[in-house]
């Protein structure tokens, strides 16, 4: 076995020497990328986590218990299509060198879908007079537009994440990643201003959310330019799947990246499932009302901002792998406190720790991808990581729901057992992560057998 020198693309080799933090953070492409991170969190927070579930619960009225079913099915369907198609995105990027060319149209479709959700929710017109599968047709259309919007939103994130390697080099990357996620979570705070505007009229929340989401993406499209590669031989649209299969077969050559992907699968599984179920758990086990939950959500967001920024500096000094290990320990503590909580104070502490972990996992893991993957394969590996994350977002809630169903006669204890099972996922991820080489930016990028 031998270790290679760090992988540098031609674009990286042409970059200036590593810059000071102030100079780095004030560069136009980094600011644009950072604001785009805020746009992502506006959509994720407002549409996925808060207003879509709240709207369905409000719109269904006496049938509000069906809201959980529709929310889970809508999320599962969008995740399924992302699992199906996300490996292709990396192949497209690696073949053309383009990111923004794909990111822009995907983002616009997500914005448009959110606008249509708002129109159908707020101005249903005659659509509300027709039913389909027992639902008013306008609510059914809101579900459809949510599936479309979330699919295109999550797809756009794959292209967005791959831009990181073009923004800096070496030890700049953890700082850029941490600063982007940290500032990006200000998008959650901005998103909560929509709640101040609409109050409990959740149908009115989608249109201002779509506008805010769009406006925060605009600076990036003016500040960042693609660096296309020379034209390559055109391949059929789905020929990229052969490259994906070959990437899996090449595990012997890229073993470290695949170990990281498996570790990320289990850690992200716990994170994604906890996000999906936190509203229900907070209300049924802890007894938090919606107002208290929103306040806790705000506190968790502030913890996310501070934690992700701090973890960027931690990863710069001690390495991205050690940063991810630290985040995993914090996540274990958060899940443990939430599982065994006996009062609201313990749950608030768990929420704060969870907020730190939520933002910091991707700060450290995406830098590790850049460090471990050769430049010509980065796009493909980012696509595979999205694939891994989306599969976990299907499996995690299924396991959680199955445990809760089997032990439903135990009442709130069933939810505690289901949440506690997520700690096993994190432990498995940590054990696998120990087998990945240290990921500081000054260390070799990969290890070949």
Domains and CATH numbers, the chain: 20-224 (1.20.1250.20), 244-449 (1.20.1250.20)
Q: Is 387 exposed, middle or buried (0-12, 13-18, 19+ CB in 10 A)?
A: buried
Strand partners, 261: none
- Tokens coding 243: 């490259």
For residue 132, what is the enclosing H or E element? strand 131-132
CA dihedral 296, 298, 299, 305 (to 10 degrees): 150
CA angle at 386 for the pair 246 and 153, rounded to the nearest 5°: 135
User: For residue 208, what are the contacts with CB-CB under 8 A and spacing of at least 6?
Assistant: 194, 197, 198
User: For residue 108, what are the contacts with CB-CB under 8 A and spacing of at least 6?
Assistant: none
Is the full-model pTM beyond 0.85?
no
pLDDT at residue number 149: 95
pLDDT at residue number 151: 93
pLDDT at residue number 253: 75
pLDDT at residue number 250: 66
> What is the C-alpha separation between 301 and 134, in angstroms, rounded?
37
Q: Calculate the alpha carbon distances from 27 to 23, 33, 227, 248 in Å.
A: 6, 10, 18, 37
Asked whether 314 and 300 are in contact (CB, 8 A), the reply is: no
- Tokens 């027709």 locate to 130
φ, ψ of residue 205 in degrees (nearest 5): -85, -20
CA angle at 421 for the pair 257 and 362, rounded to the nearest 5°: 35
> What is the C-alpha separation between 386 and 400, in angstroms, rounded?
21
pLDDT at residue number 2: 42
pLDDT at residue number 412: 75
Collapsing DSSP states into helix, strand and coil, what is residue 447? strand
Collapsing DSSP states into helix, strand and coil, what is residue 77? helix
Q: Kindly give the parts of the chain with pLDDT less than 50.
A: 1-14, 16-17, 64-65, 439-449
Q: How many CA atoms lie within 13 A of 375 on its CB side?
A: 17
Asked whether 115 and 35 are in contact (CB, 8 A), the reply is: no
Strand partners, 2: 448
> What is the C-alpha separation between 220 and 180, in angstroms, rounded?
12
């Amino acid at each position: 076995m031998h270790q290679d020198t760090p992988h540098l693309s031609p674009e990286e080799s042409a970059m200036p020497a590593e810059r000071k933090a102030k100079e780095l953070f004030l560069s136009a492409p980094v600011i644009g990328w950072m604001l785009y991170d805020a746009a992502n969190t506006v959509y994720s927070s407002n549409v996925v986590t808060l207003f879509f579930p709240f709207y369905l619960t409000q719109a269904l009225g006496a049938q509000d218990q069906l809201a959980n079913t529709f929310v889970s099915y809508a999320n599962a369907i969008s995740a399924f299509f992302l699992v199906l198609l996300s490996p292709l995105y990396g192949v497209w990027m690696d073949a053309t060198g383009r990111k923004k060319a794909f990111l822009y149209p995907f983002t616009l479709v997500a914005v448009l879908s959110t606008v249509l959700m708002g129109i159908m929710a707020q101005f249903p017109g005659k659509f509300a007079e027709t039913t389909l599968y027992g639902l008013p047709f306008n609510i059914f259309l809101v579900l459809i537009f949510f599936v479309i919007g979330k699919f295109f939103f999550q797809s756009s994130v794959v292209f967005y994440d791959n831009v990181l390697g073009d923004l800096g080099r070496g030890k700049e990357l953890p700082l850029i990643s941490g600063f982007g996620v940290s500032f990006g979570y200000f998008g959650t705070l901005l998103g909560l201003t929509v709640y101040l505007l609409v109050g409990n009229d959740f149908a009115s929340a989608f249109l201002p959310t779509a506008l805010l989401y769009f406006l925060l993406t605009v600076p990036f499209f003016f500040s960042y330019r693609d660096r296309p590669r020379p034209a390559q031989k055109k391949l059929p649209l789905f020929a990229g799947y052969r490259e994906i299969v070959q990437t899996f077969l090449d595990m012997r050559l890229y073993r470290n990246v695949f170990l990281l992907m498996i570790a990320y699968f289990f850690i992200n599984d716990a994170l994604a499932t906890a996000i999906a179920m936190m509203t229900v758990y907070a209300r049924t086990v802890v007894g938090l009302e919606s107002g208290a939950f929103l306040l806790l959500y705000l506190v968790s967001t502030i913890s996310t901002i501070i934690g992700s920024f701090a973890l960027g500096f931690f990863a710069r000094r001690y390495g991205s792998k050690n940063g991810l290990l630290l985040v995993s320990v914090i996540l274990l503590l958060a899940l443990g406190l939430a599982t065994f909580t006996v009062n609201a104070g313990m749950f608030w502490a768990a929420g704060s720790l969870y907020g730190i972990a939520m933002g910091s996992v991707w700060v450290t893991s995406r830098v590790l991808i850049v460090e471990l993957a050769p430049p010509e394969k980065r796009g493909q590996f980012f696509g595979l990581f999205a694939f891994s994350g989306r599969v976990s977002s299907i499996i995690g809630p299924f396991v959680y729901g199955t445990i809760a169903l089997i032990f439903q006669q135990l009442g709130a204890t069933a939810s505690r057992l289901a949440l506690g099972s997520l700690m096993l996922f994190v432990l498995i991820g940590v054990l696998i992560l120990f087998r990945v080489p240290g990921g500081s930016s000054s260390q070799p990028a990969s290890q070949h057998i």
